Chain A
């Protein structure tokens, strides 16, 4: 079945460091791909998405490119801030009304 694998955390970075969180997927067909962010004590919020190969999703300085050839959707940010500390989830939508498939999440801590 479809699955998402993302790098284990926690990830600890200093403010202004470069961030990469790896995400790879296994899917039949051509899924849409998402990154969600969960701040402490809150639900998940959509951070960005890409619906087809080579699409780049971006939001709040975060970017991810849908790479069909490597089945990857890595999240990047050039300069992280303390306020980016959260748990990040990679997810795929198999299509139709089939529920999203989530990775296990990666906790990011940014220290000043």
Chain B
């Protein structure tokens, strides 16, 4: 009954440090997504993977990289963290067609 699992739940980094956010889904979904949520900005898409082996940029990809490790896992990496990347990060997944997205509980990331 796990759905979409994100780790870690909370993290504090210093400017310039690197970090990988992990996401795994157990619903055999083809598509996976990374969003960031900032006050007053709603959800903004960072990167997505329509299927295993493919990744595409979203609205705000600068400063991030992603890896679709296999069908279950989709990681988000910050190579050199900046204070502007302080946010709540959500991973989501969906099956084929127009099925709704399923979201994880988020990673709250603070960069000092």
Task: Assess whether A97 is in contact with B101, with CB atoms less than 8 Å apart.
Answer: no
Task: Assess whether B42 is in contact with A100, with CB atoms less than 8 Å apart.
Answer: no
Instruction: Pick from A36, A41, A42, A104: contact of B40, CB below 8 A.
Output: A104
A45 touches B (CB below 8 Å): yes
Instruction: Pick from B42, B50, B51: contact of A102, CB below 8 A.
Output: B42
Tell me the bound Cα distance from A42 to B98 in angstroms: 23
Contact with B along A42-69 (1 / 0, CB 8 A): 1111100101000000000000000000
Q: Closest chain B residue to A48 by CB distance?
A: B100
Q: Which residues of B contact A32 (CB under 8 A)?
A: 98
Greatest chain A CB density within 10 A among B33, B42, B50, B102 is at B42
Instruction: Pick from B58, B98, B104: contact of A93, CB below 8 A.
Output: B98
Q: Which residues of B contact A36 (CB under 8 A)?
A: 103
Q: Which residues of B contact A89 (CB under 8 A)?
A: 42-43
Chain A residues proximal to chain B, CB less than 8 Å: 32, 34, 36, 41-46, 49, 51, 89, 93, 95, 97, 99-100, 102-105
